[in-house]
Chains A and B, each alone.
Chain A
């Protein structure tokens, strides 16, 4: 075998020259990376919004600082738009981050001190559940001051369906309960047909889709079904689905599944049903079928009673026996804030932001996004509560 001529460059010199050069280059790249980014300025506003003339046009104080919040994904679409609008009004002075991790996670992070306020589809619980009393833990977090539940976003729950040739479907809570727990199995069941005289319902099996991830929407839907369903829905309302059907991940998964599967039905936030162009059922609460609209939902909310005391606006929603023209399947997302006890700089931003959120301006933009505005009576109560935050 011929003598091999091996390269004589010693290993260590090679490493320090070539690899060293690479390392230096990489370090340089990393440093330049940290230097050159920036936040976008809120010059862009959605079409149709009034141009923010001056920073304090709406009487906002616009303090600077950083705020972090977490919670319900049902209000995610609404609150991100409101944050962006608030930034536009205030010239980007404050940074507000909202993370739609889920109502339970939001409350937990709130009373663990990880976020400054939480968004939740249900108010803080006052009974012991799973080892904690949420209201008490929240009070601890707020330096022994009570935490308030401020209803801010009303989210209608749509019952979206996909049936060929049926563009109007009327259902009521009892029939829905039976569909969702598997008692009613086909679309041409007499109970459905009774509510839909004249519609050609197929004999196909009903495919139900539900949220496989724990969700406040599931909890509120099951609350509605159990309270308004005349006993047809026997399980406790819970974040985890106990009925029948196929589970999909997140609202987008459920929406996509329903849109893509014939003879299916699901419960979903109205904004997602609208965005995915899925037809929604009309609800008959005893006074005739009511189509899902912002006004119909607002009528239902206006019949809610305030359960909480003082500025704690915990609502007792009325799911059945509502006035004519009301659509009672809805959820209300509360912003859970410390009435007192949050750091001063954060409190300033919380107050200012929630003042904007509860203003007619911001609430008026919600129907376009698939939500309903707070009825005026409730709006003024919320405004008063926000003003009372210290």
Chain B
């Protein structure tokens, strides 16, 4: 080893020119990527907000339905659609989240490496490729053609489960994979049974990521239009019952109004409904983040 020269001690020599250039290029790329993401988002949001904010400022929007209102007339609100969207999403989540989380637990905790787990994983891959319309057709053929049931929100929720399940399961799986085995082993070493380890050690560690996955799934499912059109159609009045009759929802409210030319009052309601939907999903998102932040264990 050569003696350090007087001017540049070995330890403080800068990285070579090539490496620095590569580093700067990477930084530029990453910044550009972030800008590329933010620009269309800002654009879409600005379009929606500018075209739709006015109606959200009045309380009638939040408290009244569209019964008796036509695209040519002002008035009414989105209450029926908000209730419908929330109801369908909650029923869907009630089925998809337990199924997805338990399925991920099976894949990671109980079946890692086994053939069954590979089969399940394979099936989830297939499930994630179902287009929303095919899921809707399946439920239509099953519930309405074969069972003879009428249109209902439950049918939609079942179709939406097929769409939400892979998102929840995959992200839960990724999060569970990232929990270090040392945590599990520490828990086993202390004599904790496997299920308690999962419920009280592994899941809380991964909780934030699981919640993210659920939120992503909910966001996707709340914005779906095609299954709603086929399975629950659109109602302009208020309907709370998930098992009978058509129900209004925000995406179908948007779809019902998009056929109108821009000068009609109905057109503005389309964008207002879109803004409402975005706000509801963001509210859920915030809630999820708060829950994740307060229930994930921190160190001081």
Interface residues of A (CB under 8 A from B): 4-7, 9, 11-12, 14-15, 18-19, 22, 26, 30, 33-34, 36-42, 44, 46, 66, 68, 70, 73, 76-77, 80-81, 83-84, 87-88, 92, 95, 97, 99-101, 112-114, 250-252, 255, 272, 275-276, 369
Using Cβ atoms and an 8 Å threshold, which residues of chain B touch A33?
A: 82-83, 86
Q: B297: which A residues are within 8 A, CB to CB?
A: 6-7, 9, 11, 14
Q: Pick the contact of B233 from A18, A99, A255 — CB < 8 Å?
A: A99
Which listed residue, A18, A37, A250, A251, touches B80 by the CB 8 Å rule?
Answer: A37
Using an 8 Å CB-CB cutoff, how does the interface string of B42-65 with A read, 1 for contact, 0 for none? 000000000000000000101111
Docked CA distance A209–B297 (Å): 60
Interchain Cβ contacts under 8 Å between A and B, 23 examples: A4-B299, A7-B299, A14-B295, A22-B291, A33-B86, A37-B62, A37-B63, A37-B77, A38-B65, A39-B64, A40-B68, A40-B76, A40-B77, A68-B235, A70-B233, A76-B259, A84-B68, A87-B67, A92-B67, A97-B246, A114-B150, A252-B261, A276-B261
Chain A's nearest CB lies how many Å from the CB of B279?
A: 14
Report the bound CA distance from A112 to B82 in whole Å: 29
Contact A114 B151 (CB under 8 A): yes
A6 to B95, CA, bound (A): 36
Is B259 a contact of A251 with CB atoms below 8 Å? yes
In Å, the complex CA distance between A60 and B69 comes to 21
The minimal Cβ–Cβ distance linking A351 to chain B, given in whole angstroms, is 20
Q: Which of B68, B71, B82, B287 contacts A92 (CB 8 A)?
A: B68
Q: What chain B residues lie within 8 Å of A37 (beta carbons)?
A: 62-65, 77, 79-80, 83, 238
- Could you say which residues of chain B place their CB within 8 Å of the CB of A11? 200, 204, 295, 297
Q: From residue 68 to 115 of chain B, which have CB atoms closer than 8 A to chain A? A: 68-77, 79-80, 82-83, 86, 90
User: Given the complex of chains A and B, what is the CA–CA distance between A200 and B60 in angstroms?
Assistant: 53
The answer to whether B195 has its CB under 8 Å from any CB of chain A is no
Any A CB within 8 A of the CB of B264: yes
With the chains together, A275 CA to B266 CA distance in Å?
13
B183 to chain A minimum Cβ distance, whole angstroms, is 12
CB-CB under 8 A from B300, the residues of chain A are 5-7
Partner of A18, one of B60, B234, B295: B295
A298 → chain B, closest Cβ, in Å? 22
One of A6, A42, A73 near B259 (C-beta < 8 A):
A73
Provide the residues of chain A in CB contact with B287, threshold 8 Å: 22, 26
Chain B residues whose CB sits within 8 angstroms of the CB of A70 once the complex forms = 233
At the interface, yes or no: B236 with Cβ under 8 Å from chain A? yes
- Residue interface mask B288-300, A partner, CB < 8 A = 1: 0011001101111
**Of A40, A95, A113, which contacts B64 at CB under 8 A?**
A40
Given A37-B64, A81-B70; A7-B240 close (CB under 8 Å): no
Instruction: Report if B237 contacts A (CB, 8 A).
Output: yes
A19 to B236, CA, bound (A): 35
Contact of A99 with B234 at beta-carbon distance under 8 Å, contacts A44-B73, A84-B69, A84-B70 already known: yes
Which A residue's beta carbon lies closest to that of B77? A40
Q: Are B238 and A39 in contact (CB under 8 A)?
A: yes
In the complex, the answer to whether A44 meets B299 with C-beta atoms within 8 Å is: no
Query: Which of A39, A81, A275 contacts B260, CB < 8 Å?
Result: A275
Size of B's binding interface in residues, CB under 8 A: 54
Contacts of B80 in A (CB 8 A): 37
Q: Do B72 and A46 have beta carbons less than 8 Å apart?
A: yes
If A18-B294, A39-B238, A44-B75 touch, does A101 touch B233 (CB 8 Å cutoff)? Answer: yes
B77: chain A residues at CB < 8 Å are: 37, 40
Q: Is B224 an interface residue (CB 8 A)?
A: no
Q: Which residue of B lies closest to A92 (CB)?
A: B68
Least Cβ distance of B272 to chain A in Å?
15
Which residues from chain A contact B174 at a C-beta distance below 8 Å? none
Q: How far is the CB of A258 from chain B (nearest CB, A)?
A: 12
Task: Report the bound CA distance from A267 to B86 in whole Å.
Answer: 39
Contact B264 A95 (CB under 8 A): no
Q: Is the CB of B290 within 8 A of A68?
A: no
The 10 closest A-B pairs by CB, nearest first: A37-B79, A39-B67, A80-B70, A252-B259, A18-B294, A275-B261, A40-B64, A40-B76, A42-B68, A87-B68
Determine whether the beta carbon of A7 is less than 8 Å from that of B65: no
Closest chain B residue to A18, Cβ basis: B294
Verify A95–B246 contact, CB threshold 8 A. no
Closest to B298 in A: A7
Q: CA A77 – CA B261 in complex, angstroms?
A: 12
Min CB gap A383→B, angstroms? 24
The smallest C-beta distance from B70 to any residue of chain A, in angstroms, reads: 4
Interface membership of chain B positions 272-295, coded 1 if the CB is closer than 8 angstroms to chain A and 0 otherwise: 000000000000000100110011
Distance between Cα atoms of A26 and B90 in the complex (Å): 12
Can you name the residue of chain B whose Cβ is closest to the Cβ of A17?
A: B294
* B220 on the A face (CB < 8 A): no
Q: How far is the CB of A22 from chain B (nearest CB, A)?
A: 6
Interface contacts beyond A81-B72, A87-B67: sample of 15 additional A-B pairs, CB < 8 Å, sorted by A = A4-B299, A11-B295, A14-B297, A18-B294, A19-B294, A34-B83, A37-B79, A38-B63, A38-B65, A38-B238, A40-B66, A40-B68, A80-B71, A83-B68, A275-B260
CB distance from B206 to the nearest CB of A (A): 13
Are B68 and A275 in touch, CB under 8 angstroms?
Answer: no
Q: Closest CB of chain A to B173's CB: distance in Å? A: 22
Out of B70, B150, B295, which one reaches A19, CB within 8 Å? Answer: B295
From A43, which residue of chain B is reached at the shortest CB distance? B75
Give min CB distance, A249 to chain B, whole Å.
Answer: 10
A73: chain B residues at CB < 8 Å are 259
Task: Answer yes or no: B175 CB below 8 A from chain A CBs.
Answer: no
Residues of B within 8 A of A38 (CB): 63-65, 79, 238
Give the docked Cα–Cα distance between A164 and B204 (Å).
Answer: 67
B residues near A14, Cβ cutoff 8 Å: 294-295, 297
Contacts of B79 in A (CB 8 A): 37-38
Known: A44-B74, A252-B258. A39 touches B295 (CB 8 A): no
Contacting pair A97 B259 (CB below 8 A): no
Q: Please report the C-alpha to C-alpha distance between residue A220 and residue B214 in the assembled complex, in whole angstroms.
A: 47
State A26–B83 Cα separation when bound (angstroms): 14
Closest chain B residue, CB of each to CB of A14: B295
